[in-house]
């Protein structure tokens, strides 16, 4: 009871903050509201002290920043839903800043002591002041007791409790919105808050971030000049993540970057290849590739930090991506289309020629223009529209890859305005084609088929037993199929025969 009241009070505070920024029913959209909403909007604007600067998305961003970490995450995820909130609004919202004043070094030491159950100097001979602070954690430069320089990321004290409280408030808001604001239903508010909650839970367990870093470090081996700092597992816990310190310049630090003698086009190429190669070859990618998380060192290598969001992409989706990119790169739309039909991605009632033609409609314009004028991410977006037309269901992981590609392309362009993502991607795609579709890949595919078949055969005796049991019960009248058609003995016999036939065929196939 008390908790619910407290949630109501907090929700009210959040609503007032949003209203003060004119971010609930923004004046700009006045003309499309029904009359009561227009009225409510006017009343809320009375609360806004003065006219707020910026477009509605930017105003919402500022309001959420002032409300704290959970709201910032809420905004970050909302910004990826341009399909519901409108692309312009989403772009404004995407400017969310996640900077906060650091909590003191003493508090940092207290967290370290609580986590390791020993004074911090037993593990770190020196702990410098925070070099960066955000709403969930801050990072210190430190020296370990064995003399290595490391980065120590420490969760804000009490952050878990605060997030739990905020999630209760957001859930209440979502339930109310779903009930009383039909317009919000397209976003599925309750499910949306669940997504926010899950993402915050992951981000407040730094062991998961450590695991992601180590997984990505392994994957990064497939790309030249792409590095991930090594995790110091003995100095990492749920609330502390210690990684090797990287002496490099953040790609967001444009001033320092321009003063250095770095081969910027080469850096841009490395970045593109790093992203695509880890995704295609290993099925994982860094999914938060903004310039503040990427660094370039003196040797021209790219380093990535911050592994709160990992992208994953399954084998079938990797294959889809590689074949499509290869089709575009070689302008061979027919082969790309055939490969899709053969793999069963496009339902058979569609025509392969029509599909190839749709691919051509997306691909050909690339060749009339300079490659740097046709972002690969935009081409993929158009492709998604086509796949919709052909009843292909794209997995959310491909959508996430496309959104990360937008980021990656942006950073690469900032390094080298003439960066040609297509040219940079070509060798990665080529290599994939050779490996996966060449003899080596075919043998592996065959191997996987045999394993799948073997699993299926192993499950068969169990299935047959189940059938026998069901059959016996049906006969004895212990089991009735309510509402369904009555199963006649001859139908059962037929099912038995079919089962036995299939088993025989599979065993024969395996024996061959
Ligand atoms: N291993 C590292 N070496 C050097 N600096 C680091 C390292 N890890 C993090 N940092 C610095 O700390 C900042 C914040 O770290 P990050 O993991 O991105 O946290 P957040 O999730 O708060 O963005 C980075 O932008 C970078 O400047
Ligand atoms: Mg970061």
Which atom of ligand 1 is closest in space to residue 307's alpha carbon? 17
**Residues enclosing ligand 1, CB less than 6 A?**
131-132, 134, 137, 139, 151, 153, 229, 243, 245-246, 250, 292-293, 305-306, 308
| Length in residues, the chain | 512
Q: How far is the CA of 118 from the centre of ligand 1 (A)?
A: 25
CA of 228: how far to CAs of 140, 217, 442, in Å?
18, 5, 32
Provide the CA 262 distance to its chain's centre, in angstroms.
30
Q: Residue 120 C-alpha to ligand 2 middle, in angstroms?
A: 24
Residue 152 CA to ligand 1 centre (angstroms): 9
**23 CB-near residues (< 8 Å, 6+ apart):** 56, 59, 60, 63
Confidence of residue 248 (pLDDT cuts 50, 70, 90): very high
The Å distance, Cα 206 to ligand 1 centre, comes to: 13
Of 103, 128, 151, 239, the one to substitute when testing ligand 1's pocket (max ligand atoms within 8 A of C-beta) is 151
Which has the closest alpha carbon to 240: 164, 294, 159, 125?
159
- Mean pLDDT, rounded, for 208-236: 97
Structure tokens at 301: 């290598």
Residue to mutate (ligand 1; options 142, 239, 306; most atoms within 8 A of CB): 306
210 touches 308 (CB < 8 A): no
Structure tokens at 191: 């499910």
Catalytic residues: 288
pLDDT band of 29, cuts 50, 70, 90: confident
The pLDDT score that the predictor gives to residue 28 is: 72
What is the tens place of the pLDDT at every residue in 313-362? 999 889 989 998 999 889 899 988 988 888 788 888 999 999 999 999 98
Residue 349, H or E segment? none
Confidence of residue 483 (pLDDT cuts 50, 70, 90): very low
Task: Give the pLDDT confidence of 413-439 residue by residue, as tens digits.
Answer: 999 999 999 999 999 999 999 998 876
Q: Cα 198 to chain center, whole Å?
A: 13
More reliable by pLDDT, 233 or 471: 233
Residue of 132, 205, 251 to test ligand 1 pocket, by largest number of atoms within 8 Å of CB: 132
Residue with tokens 């669940």: 194
Q: In the prediction, which pLDDT does 30 show?
A: 66
d(CA 63, CA 78): 14
According to DSSP, the β-strands at 124-133 and 137-144 are antiparallel
Q: Tell me: the pLDDT tens digits for 153-174?
A: 999 999 999 999 999 999 999 9
* pLDDT, tens digit, 9 for 90 and up, residues 187-201: 889 999 999 999 999
Q: What percent of the chain has pLDDT over 90?
A: 50
Instruction: Quote the crossing angle between the two packed helices 421-437 and 264-277, to the nearest 10°.
Output: 40
**Predicted confidence band of residue 479 (pLDDT cuts 50, 70, 90):** low
Residue 486 has pLDDT above 70, yes or no: no
Nearest atom in ligand 1 to 136's CA: 22
Would the pLDDT of 490 be above 80?
no
Question: Hey, is 236 helix, strand or coil?
Answer: coil
Residue 388's pLDDT is what?
82
Both tokens of residue 76? 């970050």
User: pLDDT tens digit string along 67-122?
Assistant: 988 999 999 889 888 878 888 888 889 888 888 899 999 999 999 999 999 999 99
Strand partners, 286: 310
pLDDT tier for residue 485 given thresholds of 50, 70 and 90: very low
Nearest ligand atom owner, CA of 150 = 1
Pairing of strands 302-304, 226-227: parallel
Q: Phi/psi at 250 (nearest 5 deg)?
A: -65, 140
Q: Taking residues 256-279, what's their average pLDDT? A: 95
pTM of the predicted model as reported, rounded to 2 decimal places: 0.79
Q: What are the φ/ψ torsions at residue 240 (nearest 5 degrees)? A: -135, 130
Q: Which of 4-18, 355-369, 400-414, 436-450 has the highest mean pLDDT?
A: 400-414
Residue 512: predicted pLDDT: 47
Nearest ligand 1 atom to alpha carbon 308: 21
d(CA 296, CA 303): 6
Three-state SS annotation for 177-233? HHHHCHHHHHHCHHHHHHHHHHHHHHHCCHHHHHHHHHHHHHHHHHCCCEECCCECH
Where on the phi/psi map is residue 262: left (φ > 0), alpha (ψ -120 to 50), or beta? beta
Rounded to the nearest integer, the mean pLDDT of the chain is 85
Q: How far is Cα 35 from Cα 51, in angstroms, rounded to an integer?
A: 22
Identify the pLDDT of residue 99. 84
**Distance between CA 138 and CA 99 in Å, rounded?**
10
Mean pLDDT of 386-398: 81
Element (H, E) at 242: strand 240-244
């Amino acid at each position: 009871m008390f908790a619910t009241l407290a949630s109501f009070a907090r929700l009210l505070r959040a609503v007032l903050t949003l209203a003060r920024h004119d971010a609930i029913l923004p004046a700009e959209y006045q003309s499309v509201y029904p009359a009561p909403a227009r009225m409510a909007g006017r009343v809320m604007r009375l609360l806004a002290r003065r006219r707020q600067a910026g477009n509605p998305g930017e105003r919402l961003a500022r309001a959420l920043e002032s409300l704290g970490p959970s709201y910032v995450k809420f905004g970050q995820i909302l910004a990826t839903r341009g399909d519901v909130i409108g692309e312009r609004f989403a772009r404004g919202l995407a400017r969310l800043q996640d900077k906060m004043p650091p909590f003191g070094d003493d508090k940092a030491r207290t967290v370290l002591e609580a986590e390791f159950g020993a004074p911090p100097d037993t593990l770190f001979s020196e702990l410098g002041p925070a070099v960066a602070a955000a709403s969930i954690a801050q990072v210190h430069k430190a020296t370990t007791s064995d003399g290595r320089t490391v980065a120590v990321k420490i969760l804000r004290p009490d952050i878990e409790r605060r997030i739990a409280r905020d999630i209760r408030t957001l859930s209440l808001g979502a339930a109310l919105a779903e009930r009383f604001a039909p317009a919000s239903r397209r976003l599925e508010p309750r499910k949306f808050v669940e997504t926010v909650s899950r993402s915050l839970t992951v981000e407040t367990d730094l062991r998961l971030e450590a695991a992601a870093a180590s997984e990505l470090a392994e994957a990064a081996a497939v790309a030249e000049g792409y590095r991930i700092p090594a995790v110091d597992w003995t100095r990492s816990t749920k609330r502390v993540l210690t990684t090797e310190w990287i002496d490099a310049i953040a790609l967001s630090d444009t001033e320092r970057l321009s003063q250095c003698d770095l081969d910027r086009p080469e850096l841009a190429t490395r970045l593109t290849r790093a992203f695509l190669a880890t995704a295609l070859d290993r099925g994982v990618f860094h999914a938060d590739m903004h310039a503040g998380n990427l660094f370039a060192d003196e040797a021209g290598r790219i380093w990535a930090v911050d592994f709160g969001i990992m992208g994953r992409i399954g084998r079938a989706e990797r294959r889809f991506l590689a074949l499509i990119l290869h089709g575009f790169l070689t302008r061979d739309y027919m082969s790309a289309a055939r490969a899709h039909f053969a793999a069963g991605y496009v339902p058979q009632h569609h025509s392969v020629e029509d599909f190839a033609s749709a691919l051509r409609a997306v691909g050909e314009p690339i060749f009339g223009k300079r490659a740097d004028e046709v972002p690969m991410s935009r081409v993929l977006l158009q492709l998604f529209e086509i796949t919709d037309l052909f009843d292909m269901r794209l997995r959310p992981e491909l959508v996430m890859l496309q959104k990360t590609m937008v980021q990656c392309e942006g950073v690469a362009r900032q390094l080298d305005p003439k960066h040609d993502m297509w040219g940079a991607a070509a060798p990665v795609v080529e290599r994939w084609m050779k490996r996966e579709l060449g003899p080596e890949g075919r043998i592996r595919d065959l191997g996987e088929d045999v394993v799948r078949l073997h699993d299926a055969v192993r499950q068969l005796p169990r299935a047959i037993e189940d059938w026998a049991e069901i059959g016996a019960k049906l006969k004895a009248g212990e089991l009735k199929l309510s509402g369904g058609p009555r199963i006649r003995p001859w139908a059962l016999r037929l099912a038995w025969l079919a089962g036995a036939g299939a088993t025989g065929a599979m065993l024969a196939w395996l024996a061959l």
